[in-house]
A and B are shown apart, each in its own frame.
Chain A
Amino acid sequence: MRYVKWTILVTFWILVAAFLHYTLPQHDIARITDTEVRRVDPGGNSWFWASADAGSDGTVSNRDVFFISVVRDGGSVMVYRNEDTGWGWPPYFKFDTSNLQAEAADLRSTAANPQWVVIKHYGWRNEFFTIFPNALSVRAVDGPDVRIFPWVNIVLLTLFAGAFWAIYIRWRRFRIARIDPVLENMGDGLDSVGDHFTRCRNRLRTWLRGWRQK
């Protein structure tokens, strides 16, 4: 029983952590190498694509999506999609996809003459499902060793932890005051029912034994 409880708890917290890791903004320092448009047909991976641009027809299953290709400061490559989040989830309320694409195209550079940028994004890159992080903004920086302090994440995670803690201790107090005593009573009740059964069974056994001896 304890293993079941721990498995459920650990799974739950892994899911929460994964959800937060996907949804919260992150910053990459990179050099933009290309900006392009590709047609995508989201299928099994459609969870990881946003919707069509705000205001346009969202019922067509395939559409053109902006992409930004970069080389990160470590030398690895990364590809971002650039899509409106609109009024949906996650609540970044991003509507300026086309403007962002224009800014990204303006900041393109070569390895010989690099222009470093900070790309704010959310989401994951996964080659097996063909999913891409969604770029939220780009900003030019002087060099690849700029430090970024994740204020938004710190504030949001603190608020989240605070809210969770506040609800959790109230639930605990409520459980100790209202639910546990009831369960205990029920347990006592079940015990007494059990006692009754034991008594009945013992009586039956004595009776049977009595018969056998006759």
Chain B
Amino acid sequence: MFAIARALAIGFLALSVVYICLWQYFRAGKRERLEHELDGQASKGERTQVIEAKMRDYTHLLKRRLILGVYILPLTLISVVIGLTNT
């Protein structure tokens, strides 16, 4: 039991580091693209507002995708490997 707990804890920590890195990376990239898109198209206040609104939508989507990709996918893979190895 201790071994499972340890493996899960280490795995969770490692995946969390990956999650945080990807989270920051994708958000920074999206913000930069949005800023670039709206360059000179709107007034400054309007621009910030539009960017913030779009970032909120994007954040929602990104969170769902990252949880699926970073936590659920590896866990599924591990389950498949356990199943395949031990039959």
Contacts and interface: CB of A to CB of B under 8 A. Distances in A.
Interface of A: 51, 54, 58, 86-88, 91-96, 99, 136-137
A95 B85 CA distance: 8
State the 9 A-B residue pairs at the shortest beta-carbon distance, nearest first.
A87-B7, A96-B86, A93-B82, A87-B3, A94-B85, A95-B86, A93-B81, A92-B85, A93-B85
Interface residues of B, number: 10
Contact of A54 (B3, B6, B85): B3
Nearest to B80: A93
Contacts, number: 30
15 contacts: A51-B3, A54-B3, A87-B4, A87-B6, A88-B7, A91-B78, A91-B81, A92-B85, A93-B81, A94-B86, A95-B82, A95-B85, A95-B86, A136-B85, A137-B85
Prevailing SS type, chain B contact patch: helix
A26 B7 CA distance: 25
B78 A93 contact: yes
A96 B82 CA distance: 10
Between B4, B7, B85, the greatest number of chain A beta carbons within 10 A of the residue's beta carbon is seen for B85
Nearest to B25: A170
Interface of A, helix, strand, loop or mixed by DSSP: loop
Contact of A96 (B6, B81, B85): B85
Contacts of A88: 3, 7
Contacts of A87: 3-4, 6-7
Contacts of B78: 91, 93
A94 B3 CA distance: 13
Nearest to A86: B3
Contacts of B87: 96
